[in-house]
């Protein structure tokens, strides 16, 4: 897409993801004028996905924004508003001075697994889920706080606030502590029905509400106070800063999926399938989560730990230069990887079974198999994980008609055809693939009064491609998926034994 424009008014959307920060410059017609990205530091993926330096993330926020603005070739003083989206479930204790006491701990860190398991077995985890919409799992800051109190008491004693990474960046820009409903909901401390900090969660954790930032709607507007950051980004200090939402909500919004009959399927570092609803929906079987977005709107769905992160692992192990090479390699294999099936739990499991002790397995290998069969099995395993989430979600929201996609998989027609076959759904690909950053810019426009709400803005999101499931491929994927489920059920009981040993 050609960048640059002579448009006058423009908006900046920033997406602080797990692996990088991305930014878009867009006008009120949702035309993308410029795009920029900046990766975070850290060479070792075993550490990079678990703990991150928030000052590096702040620098990446500035750098990606500056790149987007430079490519847009817009008049810098014409920026009306910006909004920041942030990854869910990040955990950052800060002291009285607002400085971090630890690195930011991401969703992938499972040191709190024992605390989540303890509450799950006691039944308290289920009660908390019914109130907060968050199943007992170590990714949630609620359980990370329990871990911090017990394992790092010297840090907890110094902790004045618990922030997300987005809140840290937001405070550096505006001088205000504030959190949107979505990020608050993803902490495990927000009551999904009342949209207030949950009394039971606070009691169990032994903390008071003032350890968290004040709650606010995603359309709330703030002012820039940090002139230095404004200058570095390249926007006037008068620019409106709109609170915005999480990267998950923004991904759906940027894809144009804001109705209950529209699901969003995302594969980036992790993966997810989700639907926006006008009421909170709590699953009796505790397979899905329920996060607030704004007053009168919720995000229902499930997330998988093992998305693009397992392709990065495979790329490193096979010493392949890029993920695109893995996709090309996998395309050489027939459906089903010639009998190879992967259970892709390299980083544990989230939805629908929430088994953080789950371990990865590659089954069916013989001397005839080659790299392309393993590559294909890895890609199919991600699709199978998403189908497991879809199966659970469809019981709660039965009228899902279309699936819109976002994230890295939008770059591969091969992978999209595979996903259509596995999910047995029509796949719609938005014209602009970086939907989380676009979603952030939409919040900036809503906050500035350009749109009346999400439905108004979503009408301008363009669809570029559609992929229909192939009936013959569907049959093959169905057979493979059934075997995948049998293998999971057989191996699931011994995952905890592996966890105890290693």
Q: Do domains 10-247 and 255-430+470-502 have the same CATH topology?
A: yes
Q: Is the pLDDT reported for residue 114 higher than 60?
A: yes
Say how many residues make up the chain.
Answer: 502
Banded pLDDT at 108 (limits 50, 70, 90):
confident
pLDDT of residue 411: 87
Which tens digit of pLDDT belongs to each residue from 55-88? 999 999 999 999 999 999 999 999 999 999 999 9
Peptide bond into 352 cis (omega under 30): yes
CA distance 433 to 438: 9
Cβ neighbours of residue 436 under 8 Å, at least 6 residues apart?
15, 17, 22, 85, 247, 250, 251, 254, 406
Tell whether omega for the bond before 171 is within 30 degrees of 0, i.e. cis: no
The Cα 100–Cα 257 span in angstroms is 36
Residue 496 has a pLDDT of 79
Write out the DSSP string of 65-114: HHHHHHHHT--GGGEEEEEEEE-TT-BEEE-TTS-BSSPEE-TT--TTHH
Measured distance CA(438)–CA(22) in Å, rounded = 10
Nearest to 22 by CA among 59, 54, 68: 68
User: pLDDT tens, 310-344?
Assistant: 999 999 999 998 999 999 999 999 999 999 999 99
Which residues neighbour 500 within 8 Å (Cβ) at sequence distance 6 or greater? none
In sequence order, the β-bridge partners of residue 291 are: 299
Structure confidence at residue 47 (pLDDT): 56
Q: Which CATH number fits domain 10-247: 3.40.50.9100, 3.40.50.970, 3.30.460.20, 3.30.420.40?
A: 3.30.420.40
> Is pLDDT of 41 > 70?
no
Position 409 scores a pLDDT of 86
What does the alpha-carbon distance between residue 322 and residue 246 come to, in Å, rounded to a whole number? 28
Confidence of residue 7 (pLDDT cuts 50, 70, 90): low
Cα distance between residue 460 and residue 469, in whole Å: 26
Average the pLDDT over 175-198 and give the result. 98
Say which CATH topology domain 255-430+470-502 has.
Nucleotidyltransferase; domain 5 (3.30.420)
pLDDT tens per residue, range 165-175: 999 999 999 99
- Give the residue-averaged pLDDT of 436-446: 98
Residue with the larger pLDDT of the pair 361 and 500: 361
Distance CA 418, CA 333 (A): 12
d(CA 387, CA 383): 6
What is the rounded CA–CA span in Å between residue 80 and residue 337?
Answer: 51
Q: What is the pLDDT of residue 499?
A: 74
User: Range with the lowest mean pLDDT among 43-52, 428-437, 443-452?
Assistant: 43-52
Contact 207, 161 (CB under 8 A): no
| Residue 1: predicted pLDDT | 41
List the end-to-end C-alpha distance of the chain, in Å, as a whole number: 48
pLDDT at 2: 45
Provide the residue ranges of all domains of the chain, joining segments of one domain with +. 10-247, 255-430+470-502
Q: Is the pLDDT at 50 greater than 70, yes or no?
A: yes
Mean pLDDT of 436-453: 97
Q: Report the run of H or E that residue 325 belongs to, with start and end.
A: helix 323-331
The chain-wide mean pLDDT, for the chain, equals: 94
The mean per-residue pLDDT over the stretch 463-488 comes to 96
pLDDT digits (tens, 9 = 90+) for 366-397: 999 999 999 999 999 999 999 999 999 999 99
Give percent of the chain above pLDDT 90.
86
* pLDDT at position 6: 52
**pLDDT for res 65:** 97
The closest alpha carbon to 289, from 192, 359, 386, belongs to 192
- Among residues 145, 133, 140, 55, the alpha carbon closest in space to that of 90 is found at 140
Tens digit of pLDDT for each residue in 131-171?
Answer: 999 999 999 999 999 999 999 999 999 999 999 999 999 99
Q: Which of the two residues, 48 and 238, has the higher pLDDT score?
A: 238
Residues 200-207, mean pLDDT to the nearest whole number: 98
Our CA dihedral for 93, 95, 97, 99, rounded to 10 degrees, sits at: -40
Tally helices (H) and strands (E) across the chain: 18, 21
């Amino acid at each position: 897409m050609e960048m640059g424009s002579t448009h006058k008014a423009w908006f900046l959307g920033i997406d602080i993801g797990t692996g990088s920060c991305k930014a878009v410059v867009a006008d009120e017609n949702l035309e993308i004028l410029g795009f920029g990205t900046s990766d975070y530091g850290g060479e070792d993926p075993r550490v990079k996905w678990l703990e991150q330096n928030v000052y590096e993330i702040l620098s990446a926020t500035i750098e990606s924004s500056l790149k987007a603005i430079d490519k847009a070739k817009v008049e810098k003083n014409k920026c009306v508003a910006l909004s920041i989206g942030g990854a869910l479930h990040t955990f950052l204790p800060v002291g009285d001075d607002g400085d971090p006491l630890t690195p930011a701990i991401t969703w992938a860190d499972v040191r709190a697994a024992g605390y989540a398991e303890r509450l799950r077995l006691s039944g308290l985890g289920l009660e908390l889920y019914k109130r907060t919409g968050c199943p007992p799992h170590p990714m949630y800051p609620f359980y990370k706080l329990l871990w911090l109190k017990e394992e790092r008491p010297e840090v907890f004693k110094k902790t004045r606030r618990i922030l997300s990474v987005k809140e840290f960046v937001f405070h550096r820009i505006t001088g205000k502590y504030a959190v949107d409903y979505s990020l608050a909901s993803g902490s495990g401390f927000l009551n999904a029905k009342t949209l207030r900090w949950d009394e039971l969660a606070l009691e169990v954790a032994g903390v008071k509400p003032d350890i968290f930032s004040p709650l606010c709607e995603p359309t709330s507007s703030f002012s820039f106070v940090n002139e230095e950051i404004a200058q570095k980004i390249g926007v006037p200090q008068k620019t409106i800063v709109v609170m915005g939402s999480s990267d998950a909500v923004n991904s759906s919004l940027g894809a144009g999926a804001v109705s209950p009959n529209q699901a969003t399927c995302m594969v980036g570092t992790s993966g997810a399938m989700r639907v926006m609803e006008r009421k909170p929906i709590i699953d009796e079987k505790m397979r899905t989560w329920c996060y607030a977005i704004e007053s009168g709107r919720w995000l229902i769905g499930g997330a998988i730990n093992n998305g693009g992160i397992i392709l990065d692992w495979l790329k490193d192990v096979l010493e392949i230069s890029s993920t695109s090479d893995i996709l090309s390699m996998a395309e050489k294999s027939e459906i089903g990887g010639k009998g190879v099936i992967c259970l892709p739990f390299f980083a544990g499991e989230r939805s629908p079974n929430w088994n953080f002790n789950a371990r990865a397995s590659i089954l069916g290998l013989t001397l005839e198999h080659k790299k392309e069969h393993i590559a294909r099995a890895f890609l199919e395993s991600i699709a199978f994980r998403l189908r497991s989430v879809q199966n659970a979600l469809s019981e709660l929201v039965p009228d899902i008609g279309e699936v819109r996609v976002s994230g890295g998989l939008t770059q591969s027609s091969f992978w999209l055809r595979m996903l259509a076959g596995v999910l047995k759904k029509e796949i719609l690909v938005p014209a602009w693939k970086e939907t989380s950053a676009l979603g952030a810019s939409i919040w900036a426009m809503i906050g500035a009064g350009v749109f009346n709400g999400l439905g108004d803005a979503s009408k301008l999101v363009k669809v570029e491609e559609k992929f229909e499931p192939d009936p013959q491929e569907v049959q093959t994927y169905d057979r493979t998926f059934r075997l995948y489920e049998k293998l999971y059920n057989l191996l699931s009981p011994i995952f905890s034994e592996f966890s105890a040993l290693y």
